[in-house]
Amino acid sequence: MYLCDVMAKKNILLKSHIRKAEELLRQNRVAEAAQVYEKLCRLDGANAGLWVRLSILRRRSGDHGGAEVASRKAIQLSSSSPEAHLALASSLHVQKRLEEAITCYRRAAGLQPDLAEAWYLLANALREAGDLDAAVDTYEQLLRIDSDHFQGLNNYGALLIGMGRSEDAVKLLYRALGLNSSSVETLTNLARAHNSIAAYRVAMELLDKAIALRPDFADAHMEMAQSLYLDGQYDQALVSFDKVIELRPGDARALVGKAKTLEVMGREEESCRLLRPLVEGEAVGAALPVYFDVSEHLGEQDRAVSMIEAFLKSGRANVHGSAPLHFRLGEYYDRRQSFDEAMAHYHKANALGGDVREMETTHELLEGLYRVYDPDRIKDLPCSTLDSQLLVFIVGMPRSGTSLVEQILASHPDIHGLGETEGMEELSSGLSASLSGRAYPDYVPDLSTGMLDEAAAGYIRSVSRRSPSSKRITDKMPHNFLRVGLLLQLFPRCHIIHCRRHPLDTCLSCYFSDFGSNYHDYTRDLQALGSYYAFYSKVMGHWRSVFGNRIFTVDYEELVMHQERESRKMLEYCGMDWSERCLDFHNNTRVVNTISYKQVKQPIYKRSVCRWRNYEKHLEPLRSALEQHGVEY
């Protein structure tokens, strides 16, 4: 037989085997397809491409060692094949041999710089290895090669959420969603990003879509539980946590989340029953912060502290999980007046929280407010025609007494407390969208009375459904201090209560608080805190100069020293008669969805006044920033 006939028959046989393997793959019979490729490699052992294909199929069928062997054979046959190096990297990656995998991914990308899959998988490996800055650079390189790489956009967005760059993540994830609107993973990641910037209602809308598309997707139910919890909808959050546990029995994150929700609701015994087995098991790191929170009620706090300290010393705590533990230890030692030890833990907790964003945007916003709400131009700005005194906005710095003020007011039989809501943020975003996407306050001069009427009426309708019979409804979102001018345009007869507290006490209390959100990243650094406080002080100073006594200021120190006198003043300002129930605010059973939920369930106490004196020697960066910006105290 002639050589050409032998080769022809061999080619026919090879093609026949390849067709058979591809048919098996279409039927998802990967292991059998791999066996066919093993025969192909025996028939044509010098064909590097066949060995690459065999490596991929072995990896997909779970034979990771065999995949590595096949890819190394391919490299031996063709050392310049980027596909062969990519196959080897993938087989190492799945074996968790990350350093070797990263080297091989880089080699594949070096051999073919436009090989998008090599950059994508390299970025994933770098992220898993903890080299986050390099992962960011690699995802960026991937998107320069393929700007519509769906999985790259999705995974890059997820990485940025974890790095505290949720606003950047939102942009990437919406791009991914534009490529695949039915991706439940992308919808869930996008919801997680919105949760981290306190846009809980937007997150819930995204999660409703994800769950409708795939009702058994546990991650979406888990994120929904987080959204509901953060929004103060605790009963519904429990339902979502239970759904996760139904789909993934024993899911530690869901059990811990459920335990925390029960603790906030005052159901400490139920919470502790869930936590005790968790703190003895693999989920100890996630469970310990909640166990500390509930332990005080059950006389087990010393035990909780011992467990936290032992866990931190063991080296088992990851970076992300360590911060909440240090916050709890700071609280514990503060109560025991071991102030240096407390501060050491607060420093560690905040250092682990991530980078603080630059403060340039606050300067730009301040200049914009000065320009738009100039005293000489204010009379020319439109206002709605709405004649309603229903709304009471409580504004100020976080930890300035806003929760206490709302709890006192909401104890009045004719006043309903909404808590912290995103309502004004959403309303402002809607106005921005209707005016070509311009940001607040730049869009304000182009508002019309009609636009303001429509937006204000919609907001009134929305909040009135919460408590139709109430004469006043409070909205306690501290950062609405940025929008006082807009509030008075929308609701000319609303009431605005500004909560003010000693700058050092305010900032120190923020520094000691585990906000659990990148929305408050400025609280992680004492100097940044001082700068932000100065920004807030200038904004409120401007509003007072423009609107005068339209804003009622309550000083935290005066309120805790003279509770009844100051409470009477607040009610009088709101146009409400006095009620003795306001003195017993701590007996109010309403849900409080802020980190002050424990404090407002206690009678007024004075130990937080001049608390900064206990930490005076640690406050130089804070004092320096305040003095640099002209804040007097």
DSSP-assigned letter for residue 598: T
Q: What does the pLDDT read at residue 5?
A: 47
- Selection from 170, 179, 124, 121 nearest residue 150 by Cα: 179
CB 472 within 8 A of CB 414: yes
Round to whole Å and give the CA distance between 418 and 421.
Answer: 7
CB 343 within 8 A of CB 615: yes
Structure tokens at 88: 């080897």
Round to whole Å and give the CA distance between 268 and 300.
Answer: 12
Percentage of the chain modeled with pLDDT above 70: 93
- Selection from 179, 210, 182, 180 nearest residue 194 by Cα: 210
CB 160 within 8 A of CB 133: no
Round to whole Å and give the CA distance between 117 and 99.
Answer: 18
* pLDDT bracket for residue 2 (50, 70, 90): very low
Q: What does the pLDDT read at residue 86?
A: 97
Last residue of a domain, which of 89, 112, 135?
112
**Residues 228-254, mean pLDDT to the nearest whole number:** 95
**Residues 608-615, mean pLDDT to the nearest whole number:** 90
Round to whole Å and give the CA distance between 310 and 594.
Answer: 29
- Residue 473, strand partner residues: 391, 416
Q: What does the pLDDT read at residue 19?
A: 85
Is residue 186 in a domain?
no
Instruction: Answer yes or no: is pLDDT of 43 > 90.
Output: no
Last residue of a domain, which of 112, 142, 166?
112
Q: What does the pLDDT read at residue 3?
A: 41
Is residue 333 in a domain?
no
Structure tokens at 57: 């199929």
Q: What does the pLDDT read at residue 455?
A: 96
Q: What does the pLDDT read at residue 316?
A: 82
CB 118 within 8 A of CB 137: no
- Selection from 54, 74, 72, 50 nearest residue 63 by Cα: 54
Question: Which of 297-301, 480-484, 614-618 bottoms out in mean pLDDT, i.e. has the lowest?
Answer: 297-301
Is residue 39 in a domain?
yes
Q: Are strands 415-417 and 391-396 parallel, antiparallel or unpaired?
A: unpaired
Angle ∠(608,614,616) on CA atoms, nearest 5: 120
- Selection from 115, 93, 117 nearest residue 104 by Cα: 93
**CATH number (domain holding residue 50):** 1.25.40.10
Taking the model in full, what pTM does it have? Answer: 0.77
Residue 498, SS3 per DSSP: strand
* pLDDT bracket for residue 303 (50, 70, 90): very high
DSSP-assigned letter for residue 592: -
CB 381 within 8 A of CB 486: no
For the chain, the domain total comes to 2
**Residues 157-184, mean pLDDT to the nearest whole number:** 92
For residue range 102-145, list pLDDT tens digits in order: 999 999 999 999 999 999 999 999 999 989 999 999 999 999 99
CA atoms within 13 A on the CB side of 421: 19
Residue 554, SS3 per DSSP: strand
Is residue 23 in a domain?
yes
Is residue 458 in a domain?
yes
Residue ranges with strand state E in 531-624? 551-555
**Residues 437-441, mean pLDDT to the nearest whole number:** 91
Instruction: Answer yes or no: is pLDDT of 603 > 70.
Output: no
For residue range 489-519, list pLDDT tens digits in order: 999 999 999 999 999 999 999 999 988 766 6
- Selection from 410, 400, 468 nearest residue 608 by Cα: 400
**Residues 435-451, mean pLDDT to the nearest whole number:** 93
Rounded mean pLDDT of the chain? 91
Instruction: Answer yes or no: is pLDDT of 302 > 80.
Output: yes
* pLDDT bracket for residue 595 (50, 70, 90): low
Q: What does the pLDDT read at residue 24?
A: 83
- Selection from 516, 470, 481 nearest residue 264 by Cα: 516
Is residue 344 in a domain?
no
Torsion of Cα atoms, 328 then 329 then 331 then 332, to 10°: 120
- Of these ranges, 35-49, 217-231, 306-320, 414-428, the one predicted with the greatest mean pLDDT is 217-231
CA atoms within 13 A on the CB side of 555: 7
Q: What does the pLDDT read at residue 590?
A: 57
Round to whole Å and give the CA distance between 379 and 381.
Answer: 6
Neighbours of 151 (CB within 10 A): 18
Give residue 40's domain range: 1-112
**CATH number (domain holding residue 396):** 3.40.50.300
- Of these ranges, 28-42, 417-431, 526-540, the one predicted with the greatest mean pLDDT is 526-540
Q: What does the pLDDT read at residue 1?
A: 44
Angle ∠(36,37,38) on CA atoms, nearest 5: 90
**Residues 203-219, mean pLDDT to the nearest whole number:** 97
Question: Which of 34-38, 359-363, 434-438, 566-570 bottoms out in mean pLDDT, i.e. has the lowest?
Answer: 359-363
Structure tokens at 312: 């931190």
Round to whole Å and give the CA distance between 501 and 33.
Answer: 71
The phi and psi torsions of 477 (rounded to 5 degrees) equal: -110, 105
Is residue 255 in a domain?
no
For residue range 445-483, list pLDDT tens digits in order: 999 999 999 999 999 998 999 899 999 999 999 999 999
CA torsion sign for 374, 376, 380, 386 is positive
Q: What does the pLDDT read at residue 621?
A: 96
Q: What does the pLDDT read at residue 598?
A: 55
Question: Which of 8-17, 82-91, 482-491 bottoms out in mean pLDDT, i.e. has the lowest?
Answer: 8-17
Q: What does the pLDDT read at residue 182?
A: 96
The phi and psi torsions of 81 (rounded to 5 degrees) equal: -85, 115
For residue range 371-399, list pLDDT tens digits in order: 999 999 898 999 999 999 999 999 999 99
Last residue of a domain, which of 90, 112, 134?
112
Torsion of Cα atoms, 225 then 231 then 236 then 240, to 10°: 0
Round to whole Å and give the CA distance between 585 and 412.
Answer: 9
CB 496 within 8 A of CB 477: no
* pLDDT bracket for residue 358 (50, 70, 90): low
Instruction: Answer yes or no: is pLDDT of 234 > 90.
Output: yes
* pLDDT bracket for residue 605 (50, 70, 90): low
Residues 6+ apart with CB under 8 A from 45: none
Is residue 463 in a domain?
yes
Question: Which of 30-39, 234-243, 356-365, 437-446 bottoms out in mean pLDDT, i.e. has the lowest?
Answer: 356-365
CB 536 within 8 A of CB 528: no
Instruction: Answer yes or no: is pLDDT of 591 > 70.
Output: no
